Structure 1
């Protein structure tokens, strides 16, 4: 009987230690709006990674939707956007960079490449002078 108690104690210790290692996750939504152009990004952030959804709408029924994911590096989110282009059938993947400034994110622009299926920016060409995503409540 003591063998079963020892096993039960061991399993409960493992269970408690696994639950303590859960990552803190926060959910945030950001919106850019300029007339009829709108970009909406919903983010789920942990200490080292992020994932979420991306939606861009424009005049004439222009719509791009997709999923974003990547790594958190300080105040910058670097990753990829897996999206369906406007009037497209096949999904595509491209690099995405977001810089946190105050409570907002600035969308990065630059030369984007894909190597072995992984999109990335040429580090020397990335600028953060694009659209500003404002925190929404």
Structure 2
């Protein structure tokens, strides 16, 4: 029994990777009406993270992004609690250009309750968010101000 406990503890410690936090990348984007914060982690061809958009002083959509990396494009879903309090899911699309990420949009189609942008409608408009990389301490300050 002692050996089983020891093996379990060692397995858990080996799974805790201190380098994981260093793999996170922090971004911010603003326009005249909105402010956004994004933290992403990528592994192989997968990405996941947290995304928060403030539309007005107290209107914030906050939740999780998750998806796949295909070349220079990150495609996935944004699952969040809307300002009205209901759970929402919508497509999430980013185009990577150097260190910056450009938010994409398109016509939303839903299949088996999974929303996605139809391929022919995908666009990266000038007025869409352009996420710029920031340091973690700057991210934390901006996030504290957003809450």
Where in structure 1 are there 5+ consecutive unaligned residues?
Answer: 1-14
Instruction: Give the counterpart of 2:70 among 69, 73, 96.
Output: 73
Cross-structure match for 2:134: 136
- How many residues end up aligned between the 2 structures? 116
Cross-structure match for 1:83: 80
**Matched ranges for 1:35-114 at <5 A:** 35=32, 37-86=34-83, 88-114=84-110
CA distance in 2, matches of 1:124, 1:105: 20
Q: Check whether the contact 1:94–1:114 (CA below 8 A) recurs between aligned residues.
A: no
Q: Check whether the contact 2:31–2:129 (CA below 8 A) recurs between aligned residues.
A: no
Between 1:26-35 and 1:106-115, the stretch displaced more is: 26-35
Query: Cα offset for 1:35?
Result: 4.7
Between 1:27-36 and 1:55-64, the stretch displaced more is: 27-36
CA distance in 2, matches of 1:54, 1:110: 19
Q: Check whether the contact 1:95–1:113 (CA below 8 A) recurs between aligned residues.
A: no
TM-score (norm 2): 0.72
CA distance in 1, matches of 2:45, 2:115: 18
Pair member with larger Rg: 1
Q: Check whether the contact 1:77–1:99 (CA below 8 A) recurs between aligned residues.
A: yes
Hey, which of these two has a bigger chunk of helix by percent?
2
TM-score (norm 1): 0.77
Q: Check whether the contact 2:61–2:80 (CA below 8 A) recurs between aligned residues.
A: yes
Structure 1 consecutive aligned stretches of length 4 or more whose deviation exceeds 3 Å = none
